[in-house]
Amino acid sequence: MDKQVLENRLNVNRRHFLGKLGLGLGGLALGSLLTPGVFRNGATEGSTLPLGFKHFASKAKRIIYLFQNGAPSQFESFDYKPTLSKRFGEDLPESIRGGQRLTGMTANQEKFPLVGSRFSFNQYGESGTWVSELFPNIAKITDDICVVKTIHTEAINHDPALTFMQTGAQVGNRPSMGAWMSYGLGSENQNLPAYCVLLSRGRGNGQGVYSKLWTNGFLDSVHQGVQFSSSHDPILYLNNPEGMDMASRRIMLDQLEALNQMGYQEFGDPEITAKIKQYEMAYRMQTAVPEITDLEKEPDHIVKLYGSDCLIPGTYAANCLLARKLSEAGVRFVQLYHQGWDQHGNLVGEMPLQAEDVDRASAALITDLKQRGLLDETLVIWGGEFGRTNYCQGKLTPENYGRDHHPRCFSIWMAGGGVKTGISYGETDEFGYNIIKDPVHVHDLHATIQHLMGLDHEKLTFKHLGRRFRLTDVHGSVVHDIIA
């Protein structure tokens, strides 16, 4: 036992020592020619390209992801299917369903009655993009966005689908998209986290979100998403306690760093350096964050643009405004989650409320970025984790219905960051059940997003457990047709 304690303290045992010595001697002649990782099995940073740079020139520098958590229905938003209204109540033909596996919620349903949107659709803008009446403000900016109607995923339940959308895998141990961006491109503004997460909750049936969605996975902890609080202080405990000024805080941090350095010398745990870095950043955040959360510099009509909800901390509108300010201040990836889009029933009652929460502020964000000349360098993505079924879940009445989860196709939109504007990409069949043209798998979406950010999705890798990982794993191809 004593021996183990001693070894632990020395951080080395005889085998380590001899192993290292042998290597050291044998390596004298050739050692410097060979990569250090050859004889070791330990994890080494396995990126094939230098980090902190784009791999190639591109417009986008930052991302704001407006995640509509719970999966908004494509049939009441962007994928107009008049056939479903004409064939109201008819059973979904088995030839269309094609053996699609169903969730436990509708698997035992005897019939799958088709149901069209209760809300009317119109074409907007020069592009003639179809948008439902629930999103009047997004309808006004259709010429600035690119609607992709043919995203498809592999999961049929919220947790795996969300995790898949965020990390490229359904199991929850991979780094999130924002963590990859932070890892690949670094932080633009070192006074703020490179990856920030803002949560809000709507009035519809909600699904939870949890910190594994903004995890750094096996990447260094500094790439982890930082969740902002929805209270008055977006970042808690940022103010110095009474009696502590910035100078004494500095002294305190310097001493703490010295102690942490000693700990690092002794144990060599990289998490300690990550911690030191985070303390330093927190110190700088004390000046940087108040400048960002302060609304006083914003003219009144910014509030009108986003809607007065943006004055209430923790609302979607407030988060959109904060996202713009964070992004403007160089935060690489701002992730919003708006919960409450899971309309299994009472879709007609809930969806207008959800849409009301997000419509104005989502459109405002695009307008606001554009009027500051930032839309070209900021990629905005709006969408959920999967689609919803073209048939009704539960009781179908002419007035109300619900929709179950549907992985085969759903709609998202993107704007800015070098995405083509004013187009709708991809087509689904007249039932809105299958894709008939230009499918975009989640992996393809990830590859495209990385491409827009100037990253080659096949080259941004990290070696872990003996193999190189990437956001798209071994899949994904860039959808060049939506890139300007």
Span from 89-97, 182-190, 388-396, 409-417 in contact with another protein (CB under 8 A) = 182-190
311 binds another protein (CB under 8 A): yes
Binding flags for another protein, 428-467, as an x/- string (CB under 8 A): --------------------------x-------------
Which residues in the 366-385 window bind another protein by CB under 8 A?
367-368, 370-374, 376
Least spacing, CB of residue 356 vs another protein, in Å: 13
Phi, psi of 154 (to 5 degrees): -105, -20
End-to-end CA distance of the chain: 65
Name the nearest CA neighbour of 189 among 51, 330, 348. Answer: 330
For residue 231, the minimal CB distance to another protein (Å) is 8
What gap in Å lies between CA 34 and CA 160, rounded to an integer? 41
Min CB(174)–another protein separation in Å:
26
Which residue in the set 3, 14, 101, 301 belongs to the binding site for another protein (CB under 8 A)?
A: 301
With tokens 């898949």, the residue in question is 164
Query: Least Å distance between CB 194 and another protein?
Result: 11
β partners of residue 63: 333, 379
Residue corresponding to tokens 């009446």: 133
Work out whether 304 is an interface residue with another protein (CB under 8 A): yes
# residues near another protein by CB under 8 A: 60
For 166, counting Cβ atoms within 10 Å of its Cβ (0-12 exposed, 13-18 middle, 19+ buried), the class is buried
Would you say 209 and 230 are in contact if contact means Cβ atoms under 8 Å apart? no
Handedness of CA 91, 96, 100, 103 (dihedral sign): negative
CB distance 435 to 428 below 8 Å: yes
Region of 30-38, 218-226, 265-273, 337-345 interacting with another protein (CB under 8 A): 30-38
The phi, psi pair for 64, rounded to 5°, reads -120, 120
Q: In terms of Cα–Cα distance, which of 77, 340, 82, 332 is closest to 183?
A: 332
Applying CB under 8 A, the span of 9-17, 84-92, 209-217, 361-369 interacting with another protein comes to: 361-369
Q: List the one residue from 226, 303, 348, 396 that touches another protein (CB under 8 A).
A: 303
User: How far, in Å, CA of 292 to CA of 254, rounded?
Assistant: 26
Q: Does 188 bind another protein (CB under 8 A)?
A: yes
- Verify binding: residue 247, another protein, rule CB under 8 A: no
Q: Which is nearer to another protein, 12 or 311 (CB)?
A: 311
Which 252-281 positions form the footprint of another protein (CB under 8 A)?
none
3 state DSSP class of 397: coil
Residue 3 or 297: the one with the smaller Cβ distance to another protein is 297
| Residue 43 in contact with another protein, rule: CB under 8 A | no
Could you give the string, one character per residue 193-232, with x where binding to another protein holds by CB under 8 A and - elsewhere?
---------------------------------------x
User: Which two structure tokens, joined as six digits, stand for 461?
Assistant: 């890798």
- Tell me which residue has tokens 């780094």: 175
**Residue 58 or 74: which CB sits closer to another protein?**
58
Cα 53 to Cα 180: distance, rounded to the nearest angstrom: 13
Pairing of strands 226-227, 462-464: unpaired
Q: Is 56 in the site for another protein (CB under 8 A)?
A: yes
Stated as kind and residue range, the H or E segment containing 23 is: helix 14-30
- Closer to another protein by CB, 102 or 483: give it: 483
Q: Is 136 in the site for another protein (CB under 8 A)?
A: no
C-beta of 42 vs 299, nearer to another protein: 299
287 sits near another protein (criterion: CB under 8 A) = yes
How many CB atoms are closer than 10 A to CB 21? Answer: 10
User: Of the listed pieces 7-15, 28-36, 84-92, 168-176, which binds another protein according to CB under 8 A?
Assistant: 28-36
Among 1-9, 184-192, 339-347, 442-450, the segment contacting another protein (CB under 8 A): 184-192
Contacting residue, 18, 21, 244, 312, with another protein by CB under 8 A: 312
Minimal distance in Å, beta carbon 333 to another protein?
16
- Are the C-beta atoms of residues 77 and 384 closer than 8 Å to each other? no
Q: Could you give phi then psi for residue 255, rounded to 5 degrees?
A: -65, -45
Q: Single out the residue of 307, 402, 407, 416 in contact with another protein (rule: CB under 8 A).
A: 307
Tokens of 37: 């990782």
Task: Identify which of residues 210 and 267 has a Cβ nearer to another protein in the complex.
Answer: 210
Judge whether 99 and 416 are in contact, CB under 8 Å: no
Least distance between another protein and beta carbon 451 (Å): 10
Q: d(Cα 306, Cα 298) in Å, to the nearest integer? A: 12
Pull the structure tokens for residue 95: 């030839």
226-227 vs 195-201, strand pairing mode: parallel
Stated as kind and residue range, the H or E segment containing 474 is: none
| The one among 148, 305, 320, 460 contacting another protein by CB under 8 A | 305
Catalog residues that contact another protein under the rule CB under 8 A.
30, 32-35, 38, 49-50, 52-58, 61, 186, 188-191, 232, 284, 287-288, 291, 295-297, 299-301, 303-305, 307-309, 311-313, 328-330, 364, 367-368, 370-374, 376, 420, 423, 454, 480-481, 483-484
